[in-house]
Amino acid sequence: MEPENTSVDSTATSSVHNPFIIPGAILIGFAMIAAAIYFSGGFSGHTKQTMQEDTSVITQEDASGSSIRPVDENDHIRGNPNAPIVIVEYSDYDCPFCKKFHETMKAVMAEYGTTGKVAWVYRHFPIEQIHPNAAGIALAAECVADLGGNDAFWTFSDLVFEDRLETAQTNMAKVPDYAVQAGVDKDEFNACVREGRFVKDVQEDYADGVAAGVTGTPYSLVLVGGQQGIINGAQPYEMVKQIIDTLLLQIGDSSVQ
């Protein structure tokens, strides 16, 4: 359970509201949905893993027709911004499946990020209907980024995901400590959160996600060579690696074994 009295100002946290309401059945069902990735124009590869009896998949039309805001300098990017493969993840800090996928993506970056082949972009998609503190944590992350820069944002995000159990929600009393560990001043951080300086940024990420077809988390769009595909759900490292290796072969990377 979350402590009712937290160091992150509750007024600022509660002011971050999602501008769209998603039916609860879709939210719950999404987390266990079967995953598929489709690319339009030249890449016909298809990777699918059933995580339960739900046989839902994303069609090629869905993948190519969704609208994603272009990645730019305002995004939180881990790795080479000019990498040939860019994975844009829409995530919720209190989502148990996002915690799993965060570890998957860290492993991906350890292998492919250091060579500049993959970049990871994090965008906020707090689902307040089931994770009431997620929007507040996203606001806190934006404050950390503003005060400490891109590296501080990623350090903060790693701490949030790592320091809770998979099925637990974030201990909000610890959030300012995560900010300090990420390298920002605690008083400046608390002031930023209290004033809700980046509420609009979190809301804009959420709206961008809805426009891109996101209905739950984690939901990742893979951008490569002008094409776009979808990794739906918390896919394991082995599957994401297979997708990346296939794409690298498609674009002529001879280093893939």
Cβ-based neighbours of 77, under 8 Å, separated by 6 or more? 71, 119, 120, 121, 150
**pLDDT tens-digit series, residues 161-214:** 999 998 899 999 999 999 999 999 999 999 999 999 999 999 999 999 999 999
3-state DSSP assignment of residue 147: helix
Upper half-sphere CA count for residue 164 (Cβ side, 13 Å): 26
Q: For 72-119, what is each residue's pLDDT tens digit?
A: 999 999 999 999 999 999 999 999 999 999 999 999 999 999 999 999
d(CA 142, CA 148): 10
Segment 238-253, tens digit of pLDDT: 999 999 999 999 988 8
Residue 234 CB coordination number (10 Å): 22
Structure tokens at 198: 């980046």
Task: Classify burial at 167, counting beta carbons within 10 Å of its beta carbon; exposed 0-12, middle 13-18, buried 19 or more.
Answer: exposed
d(CA 250, CA 246): 6
Q: Are 88 and 69 in contact (CB under 8 A)?
A: no
Q: pTM score, two decimals? A: 0.77
Domains and CATH numbers, the chain: 10-250 (3.40.30.10)
